[in-house]
Amino acid sequence: MSESDQIHKVVIIGSGPAGWTAAIYAARANLDPVVYVGVAKQSPAIQLPGGQLMLTTDVENYPGFPDGVSGPQMMQMFQKQAERFGTKTQPRDIVSVEFNSDGPHKLVTDKDETVYAHTVILATGATANWLGLENEQRLARNGGGVSACAVCDGALPMFRDKPLAVVGGGDSAMEEATYLTKFASTVYIIHRRDELRASKVMQERYLSKPNAEVKWNSVVEDIKSTTNEHGQEVISAVVLKDTTTGELSDLEVGGLFVAIGHTPATGFIKDSGVTFNEKGYVQLDGKTTETNIPGVFAAGDIADDHYRQAITAAGTGCQAALDAEHWLGDRDLI
């Protein structure tokens, strides 16, 4: 780096609840944070940053919004609040990094610009895995009854007393399906094999519900939709293919929840020296947001394969900003 290069106190990578909350705290601590908001990772169909909430129509479980709020609107509000205190927003992706234990850290954008920072907060989240069906993203984005998060969306009135389907055979699928049994008439698990991957206890919890039914050896080939009384396109059925016979059949459902795993957005740091856990998420040091590299912190779903909620991501974003502030203070960098 040359003498004229500016070294930022805090650079935040990612613009979901974790990134913006880190920015609000860092900005209010006069750390002049810069947020690299990135280019959308959820789907090529959505060219907006903002993480998984960009695919969430109504957020009803975030405290402070008694009437609910749409995911994209909520992210705009987070951004506005961060910018109110002086956060700078950069509409760029960080594509590679060179972390330096003696600092500063070097980041490179998708336009090949170089950025230096004493502390970096990784908050790029994780993306839900999708089935890859043609209308899946459109229905998910427009509130058409397709979702990758039952805990976020399952309690919406549109799903009440309807047959619902959950794809997947892991713990997430069991958890989502069990949750949905409270609202749905029937909750189908659609699983591609004849044996569930989920732990026995999670299986039992779902299978013990009177309205649970498993469609074994089945994959979703297509999603059928209809227009509801408000003129909105909504799911009406899924076309199932029996993996043993190849036979196709329609299953009428009022909602489809895809629970086939998540992938943390860590590609840009894979060779950076950051330690990952056995599932590929950033490994943190105990209850802090510190990674194994001094001055590099992580917040939100990039380091959390368990809770994965907007509110928990925001909470760790706050922690990361406080950790970064203490780190800078201890080294007389603020």
Contact pattern for ligand NAP over residues 52 through 81, marking x by CB under 6 A: ------------------------------
By CB under 6 A, is residue 167 in contact with ligand NAP? yes
By CB under 6 A, is residue 194 in contact with ligand NAP? no
Smallest separation, CB 33 to ligand NAP (Å): 31
Helices 200-207 and 171-180, axial angle in degrees (round to 10) = 20
If you ran DSSP here, which 8-state letter would residue 283 be given? P
Q: Which of 73, 116, 135, 261 binds ligand NAP (CB under 6 A)?
A: 261
d(CA 210, CA 190): 17
Closest CA to 277 of 300, 315, 305: 305
Residue 328 in contact with residue 119, Cβ under 8 Å? Answer: yes
By CB under 6 A, is residue 26 in contact with ligand NAP? no
Which residue is listed with tokens 């999708």? 130
By CB under 6 A, is residue 151 in contact with ligand NAP? no
Smallest separation, CB 84 to ligand NAP (Å): 36
User: Residue 71: exposed, middle, or buried by beta-carbon count in 10 A (0-12, 13-18, 19+)?
Assistant: buried
Smallest separation, CB 305 to ligand NAP (Å): 5
CA 252 to chain centre: 28
149 assigned to active site: yes
Give the count of alpha carbons within 13 A of 70, CB side only. Answer: 10
Q: Which of 119, 147, 172, 181 binds ligand NAP (CB under 6 A)?
A: 172
d(CA 297, CA 293): 8
Shortest Cβ contact with ligand NAP: which residue?
A: 170
H or E segment and range at residue 200 = helix 200-207
Closest CA to 211 of 179, 256, 238: 179
d(CA 22, CA 41): 20
By CB under 6 A, is residue 197 in contact with ligand NAP? yes
By CB under 6 A, is residue 241 in contact with ligand NAP? no
Residue 262 in contact with residue 128, Cβ under 8 Å? Answer: yes
Q: Which of 68, 170, 280, 294 binds ligand NAP (CB under 6 A)?
A: 170
Interface segment toward ligand NAP; rule CB under 6 A; list 225-233, 234-242, 254-262, 309-317 = 254-262
- Which of the residues 58, 152, 301, 304 is marked catalytic? 152
- Total of residues contacting ligand NAP (CB under 6 A): 17
Q: Which is nearer to ligand NAP, 192 or 224 (CB)?
A: 192
Interface segment toward ligand NAP; rule CB under 6 A; list 143-151, 189-197, 263-271, 291-299 = 189-197
By CB under 6 A, is residue 48 in contact with ligand NAP? no
152 assigned to active site: yes
Count how many residues are written for the chain: 334
Interface segment toward ligand NAP; rule CB under 6 A; list 11-19, 90-98, 108-116, 163-171 = 163-171
Counting runs of H as helices and runs of E as strands, what totals does the chain give? 7, 17
153 assigned to active site: yes
Rg, Å, the chain Cα set: 21
Contact footprint for ligand NAP (CB under 6 A) = 131, 167-173, 175, 192-193, 197, 219, 259-261, 305
Q: Which active-site residues does the annotation give?
A: 149, 152-153
